[in-house]
Amino acid sequence: MEKYLKTFLVMHGIEPFKTHNITFLRKECEKIDTDFYTLSNIDYLSDYAVELRYPDSFYIPTLEEAKEAYEDAVKARIFIKEKIKGMFL
């Protein structure tokens, strides 16, 4: 998810930040396009970006948590891709 958010920022001439923090990146995107507020439900995905990546913080989500995270990520990806695509119309 962070890569999509960073791509949106780059498309607007903003150097991507070295962070995995979805909330921070989403809020940076929101400064450009207030519609990104509607993605506030993906802020929790930062936990997956960090906790599942580093072995010291290992966490195994339940199947239900994983499904919910996946569905939220897919919806957000579609939203962001449409925003980027709209820049070329």
Chain center to CA of 58: 21
Token representation of residue 6:
């960073």
pTM of the predicted model over 0.95: no
Query: Which residues span the domain enclosing 25?
Result: 2-86
Q: What domain count does the chain have?
A: 1
Digit-coded pLDDT (tens) for 14-67 = 998 899 899 999 999 999 999 999 999 999 998 877 665 666 666 678 999 999
CB 71 within 8 A of CB 77: no
